[in-house]
Amino acid sequence: MSSVLLLFAHPSQHKSEVCMPMYRVAQSVPGVTCVDLYADYPTFNIDIATEQQRLSAHQRIIWLFPLYWYSTPAILKEWQDLVLEYGFAYGQGGTALHGKSLLCALSAGGSESSYCAEGYNHFGLRQLLSPIEQTASLIGMDYLPPFALFGARSAVEEGRLEPHLKRWQAVLEALVAGEIPDTGCGEGAPKKRETLS
Amino acid sequence: MTGIFLQAFVYLLAAVLAVPLAKRLGLGSVLGYLVAGVAIGPLLGLVGQETQSIQHFAEFGVVLMLFLVGLELDAKQLWQMRQRLLGLGGLQVLLTTGAVAGLALILNQPWQVALALGMIFAMSSTAIVLQSFNEKGLAKTEGGRGGFSVLLFQDIAVIPILAILPLLALGAPQVDAGHEDMSLVAGLPGWANALVVLGAIAAVVFGGRFLTRPLFGYVARSGLREVFTAAALMMVIGIAALMSLVGLSPALGTFLAGVVLASSEFRHELESTIEPFKGLLLGLFFITVGAGIDFEMLLSQFALVLGLALGVMVIKALVLLLLAKIFRLSGSDKWLFALSLAQAGEFGFVLLGYSQQQGIFGSELGGLLSMVVALSMFLTPGLFILYERVILPRVTRSTNEREADTIDEQGPVIIAGIGRFGQIVNRLLRANGVKTVVLDREYAQVERLREIEMKSFFGDVSNPELLHTAGIESAKMLVVAIDDVEGATALVRHVRQHYPQVAILARAFDRGHFYALTEAGADWVVSESFYSALNMGGEALIRLGMHPFAAEQRKTAMVEREKAHASELYEAWLEVRDNLDRRERYLKLFIKLEAALKEDMGKDRMDGHSRSLSGWTPPPKGYDKELASQEESMRPQAVKE
């Protein structure tokens, strides 16, 4: 049984320069179950039972997505709203996800420097993603620092994509092997790394 | 007994040998039967005088055919045809009668004879024309519809013509040896006669509407196919008998019954039951026409008979062309209409015999004229071939050569049937740069598409040759969107067997057809009305005050339900198809499905496990206190650390 479940959310894959190659890499790593949410649910009619079974069957969950307005694309939010039910993920008898880990792998258009109090985005990425972090906390999952590529719109031209894909593959292989992926240092509270890259 | 066996064998053998050959040569089955008749009759002399009596029997094929035609038309469609029926049909009979009578007058015939001949030759052959229309898929073209209207009117016109003919008698009527007809109306005064006739028609209409359902229901519940067959034949024969008794055309009566039954639930069952009888009897009828040709007479007066036949056909075609102009039939339809109806018909034989009985003309002229009628019928398949091979390509406005079976574009997707349904599929694919090859057997459709510069081809999809030309071997996908229910299933089965690599998407007419297509091997089937009906149901819910999003979820739930029970229902259907008595089980299952659906609609995910409904159920009241207390209990542990 593969231990890693990757949920990929990208509504315009033919224009994608970062996430799509990352998805392709993930598909080639043994032990990673890859799900293209927009392909499975083109009308957003998410099959709750199926998704909950998938979650139960895997130990580590990855969300792979381009950052849209400091959050996930719509289908991944829909997925959260429907799948992380009371009685399954939290509340009375909701312990299905306890002890599993969650990793956000994403591409962001803004530069890394923009994601801080002085930059035009005014908040760090980790801080902006705090709703997801808190969700993970409430449903009893370990939240891993996000794995992000900044300045994604110029990554190909600047030759930053290939090295990023190599790091990505290493992260995936580590997760499959049950290790904590390679950590980068970041700002914020001690023990709270900003990102994995 | 032995004699009957031998004769039956000869007739069937001739048909079995000749018809497939004619079909392969692209000449149509009618010509095959005619040639088979000529071969066993005049040429080989295997059958002789009994053809006359067999022909009377075989004419019942025409009766069955009109019943089937009626089944295809409900009363509303018939009412919509009324202008064409009276206008086209009425004018055709009047003008042709006039023109032929004029010709006869020029040939020095007395006016009574001339008028009788005009009426005789105004008739066309319902049997040949409708059979050819169906075979070539021309029935739904404008030309085909016009032709049908005319044929129907002629069938009606026979009644007054039979009343007029005796008035034209010159000498004393000949003693009619073969006249043994029973009649309900003989010797009645005019008004009573009319009343009886109307009563008979009313009996057919009301009987069809109110008696057939319990009758066929009773028979169908027995689960015995042969009894159903017997009941269907009984009904048709009974109606034919009733019509004969009151002096109406049996074909007309059964046509009427067909129209009445067009909306009944037994329609398809009746169609598939009667179809083989119709086919065989019609075939037999055509054989007898061929066998009845008197070769000696034909050879001795060949020039005269041929001249007269051609003359009649030219006159009829000219009249029809004129009518086509008046009624604005254009292009290929005009020619189809004119060429297909140019022959004299089987009613011509009947009227000829009747005229001889009445003493309007002698048996010599009668014999000569029945040769003319037979010859013109014989030439008709040739006219259809002329239409297909010569006229159609010329009339086509497109510059590229069009043949029924040359396709100059091979694409990865073949779309069979380009009516209301296939057209939308085609447009979506083309708009996204997918190359499609479009096939349709209805020429008018193809022509229309060509006008808007869409490449489409004319031909019969069920013909393997055409599939081959369309490039089925190299195609990725076949989209089946033809109207013909059985044809679609057969096409799917054929392609699945011979070209397993082709993905097949098919459109189903109804639930039964859905299962049949699935069984035939289609990869994906959609019911032609399901989604539009579902959308309409959703719209209805919204207008009744349901929130649009809730209505959308209800629709989704319904589709899910359907999916959840699909395989179960399919299995049940397979059983029902093999034994009619399993119908109960299928119905029970269906009722179960409905109940499950209803239950789903009122359920939240929390209570049970219906999915897709109320996935946004809020957590139970007071759940936050629970979470807070959990947090409290965690805290002391954190301190200990």
DSSP per-residue codes, B123-175: ---HHHHHHHHHHHT-TTSHHHHHHHHHHHHHHHHHHHHHHHGGGG--SPPPP
CB atoms < 10 A from the CB of A44, how many?
A: 13
User: In chain A, where does DSSP find H-type helix?
Assistant: 19-28, 37-40, 48-57, 74-83, 125-128, 130-138, 161-176
Contact in structure between B370 and B362 (CB atoms under 8 Å): no
Whether residue B337 contacts residue B320, with contact meaning beta carbons closer than 8 Å, is answered with: yes
pLDDT for position A66: 95
pLDDT at position B187 is 67
Q: Is B493 helix (H, G, I), strand (E, B) or coil?
A: helix
Min Cα distance A87 → chain B (Å) is: 8
Q: What single-letter amino acid sits at B187? A: G
Q: Which amino acid is at B107?
A: L
Please state the three-class secondary structure of A18-66 as a single string: CHHHHHHHHHHCCCEEEEEHHHHCCCCCCCHHHHHHHHHHCCEEEEEEE
Residues from chain A that touch B556, judged by Cβ atoms under 8 A, are 45
What's the gap between Cα B497 and its chain centre? 27
Residue A181: pLDDT over 50: yes
Q: Which residues contact A9 (CB under 8 A, 6 or more apart)?
A: A37, A38, A63, A64, A65, A72, A73, A75, A76, A79
The CA distance from B271 to B278, in Å, is 10
Do B564 and B612 form a contact (C-beta atoms < 8 A)?
A: no
Is A86's Cβ below 8 Å from some Cβ in B? yes
CB contact under 8 A, B626 and A91: yes
For the purposes of burial, counting CB atoms within 10 Å of the CB of A120, is it exposed (0-12), middle (13-18) or buried (19 or more)? exposed
Give the C-alpha separation, B617 to B142, whole Å: 57
**Residue of chain B whose Cα is closest to the Cα of A46:** B612
Residue A83 confidence class, pLDDT cut points 50, 70, 90: very high
Distance (Å, whole) CA A72 – CA A129: 9
Distance from CA of A11 to the nearest CA of B (A): 18
**What does DSSP say about strands B413-416 and A101-107: parallel, antiparallel, or unpaired?**
unpaired
Amino acid occupying residue B383: L
Determine the residue of chain A that is closest to B609 in CA distance: A49
Q: Which pLDDT score is estimated for B408?
A: 44
pLDDT at residue number B454? 67
Q: So what's the pLDDT on residue B330?
A: 75
A85/B616 Cβ within 8 A: no
Give 3-state DSSP helix, strand, coil % of chain A, rounded to 5. 35, 15, 45
pLDDT of residue B180: 45
Quick check: A77 contacting B, CB < 8 Å? Answer: no
Residues with Cβ within 8 Å of B220's Cβ and at least 6 positions away in sequence, in order, are B228, B266, B269, B580
Measured in degrees and rounded to the nearest 5, phi and psi for residue B246 equal -95, 10
Q: What is the DSSP letter of A99?
A: T
Residue B542 to chain A, least CA–CA distance (Å): 19
Of A25, A97, A116, A1, nearest in space to A56 by CA = A97
CA B36 – CA B22 distance, rounded (Å): 10
Write the Ramachandran bin of A44: left for phi over 0, alpha for psi from -120 to 50, otherwise beta: left
User: Out of B556, B615, B623, whose CB is closest to A48?
Assistant: B615
Contact A193, A145 (CB under 8 A): yes
- Between the CA of residue B636 and those of B254, B474, B628, B639, B640, what are the distances in Å? 93, 72, 14, 5, 6
Contacts of A81 in chain B (CB under 8 A): 615-616
User: Closest partner residue to B619 among A47, A81, A86, by Cβ?
Assistant: A86
| Single-letter amino acid, residue B566 | A
Category of B23 on φ-ψ map: left (φ > 0), alpha (ψ -120 to 50) or beta: alpha
| Backbone conformation region of residue B453, classed left if phi is above 0, alpha if psi is from -120 to 50, else beta | left
Alpha carbon distance B616, B14 (integer Å): 73
Q: How many Å apart are CA B75 and CA B209, to the nearest integer?
A: 12
Contacts of A138 in chain B (CB under 8 A): 627
Which two structure tokens, joined as six digits, stand for B41? 């009759």
Planar angle of CA B193, B152, B418, nearest 5 degrees: 150
Exposure pattern of B552-591 as b/e (b: 16+ CB <10 Å)? bbbbbbbebbeeebeeebeebbeebeeeeebbeebeebee
Question: Which residues in chain B are closer than 8 Å to A98, comparing Cβ atoms?
Answer: none
Q: Where are the alpha helices (DSSP H) in B165-224?
A: 190-206, 212-222
Percent of chain A with pLDDT over 90: 73
CA dihedral B22, B27, B29, B33 (to 10 degrees): -70
Question: From the CA of B554, how many Å to the nearest CA of chain A?
Answer: 12
Alpha carbons B483 and B431: distance in angstroms, whole number: 24
3-state secondary structure B391-439: HHHHHCCCCCCCCCCCCCCCCCEEEECCCHHHHHHHHHHHHCCCCEEEE
- Locate the chain B residue with the closest alpha carbon to A86: B619
CA distance B617 to B607: 11
Distance CA B569, CA B514 (A): 11
Q: In this predicted model, what pLDDT tens digit does every residue of B329-345 receive, in sequence order?
A: 777 888 888 888 898 88
Residue range A156-171: mean pLDDT, rounded: 93
Please, is A109 exposed, middle or buried when counting C-beta atoms within 10 Å of its C-beta (0-12, 13-18, 19+)?
middle
**CB–CB of B619 and A45 under 8 A?**
no
Provide CB contacts within 8 A for B334, sequence distance 6+.
B143, B321, B324, B325
Rounded Cα distance, B303 and B640, in Å: 123
Q: Measuring CA to CA, which residue among B156, B182, B181, B243 is closest to residue B207?
A: B243
- The DSSP code for A112 is G
How far away is chain A from the Cα of B562, in angstroms, using its nearest Cα?
Answer: 15
A143-152 pLDDT, tens digit per residue, is: 999 999 999 9
> How many residues are given for chain A?
197
Q: Pick from A96, A99, A89: which is nearest to A135 by CA?
A: A89
Nearest C-alpha of chain B: how many angstroms from A138? 9
As averages over each run of 10 residues, the pLDDT of chain B (641 residues) reads: 82 86 76 83 74 76 82 77 85 91 88 89 86 78 85 81 76 45 65 83 88 82 80 90 84 85 73 81 82 77 87 91 85 85 82 79 81 84 83 56 42 84 90 84 68 67 69 86 89 90 92 89 92 95 91 86 80 72 69 72 51 66 80 60 42
Quote the minimal CA–CA distance from B627 to chain A in Å: 7
CB-CB under 8 Å, B609 with A87 = no
Taking CA–CA distances from A43, the nearest residue in chain B reads B556
Enumerate long-range contacts of A127-133, CB under 8 Å, 24 or more apart: A127/A188, A128/A70, A128/A71, A129/A70, A129/A71, A129/A104, A131/A71, A132/A63, A132/A72, A132/A102, A132/A104
Residues in chain B: 641
pLDDT of residue B603: 59
Q: What's the Rg (C-alpha) of chain B?
A: 31
Candidate from B605, B609, B616 with C-beta closest to A81:
B616
B10-19: string of b/e by CB count within 10 Å (b at 16+)?
bbeebbeebb
Is the CB of A91 inside 8 Å of chain B's CB atoms?
Answer: yes
CA quadruple B156, B159, B161, B167: dihedral, nearest 10: -160
Question: What does the pLDDT look like over B580-623, one tens digit per residue?
Answer: 666 666 677 777 777 766 766 665 554 444 444 557 777 887 78
Contact assignment for B609 to A138 by CB distance below 8 Å: no
Task: Supply the pTM of this predicted model.
Answer: 0.49
A191/B contact by beta carbon, under 8 A: no
What pLDDT shows up at residue A176? 92
Q: B627: which chain A residues are within 8 Å (Cβ-Cβ)? A: 90-91, 138
- For B590, the 3-state DSSP assignment is helix
Tokens 């109804």 appear where? B510
Helix A19-28 and helix A161-176, axial crossing angle in degrees, nearest 10: 40
Instruction: Report how far apart, in Å, the C-alpha atoms of B261 and of each of A22, A123, B206 are.
Output: 63, 75, 11
Highest mean pLDDT among A100-114, A183-197, B233-247, B362-376: A100-114
Q: Per-residue pLDDT for A71 more than 90?
A: yes
Smallest Cβ–Cβ distance between A49 and the set B611, B617, B619 belongs to: B611
Whether the CB-CB separation of A92 and A86 falls below 8 Å is answered with yes
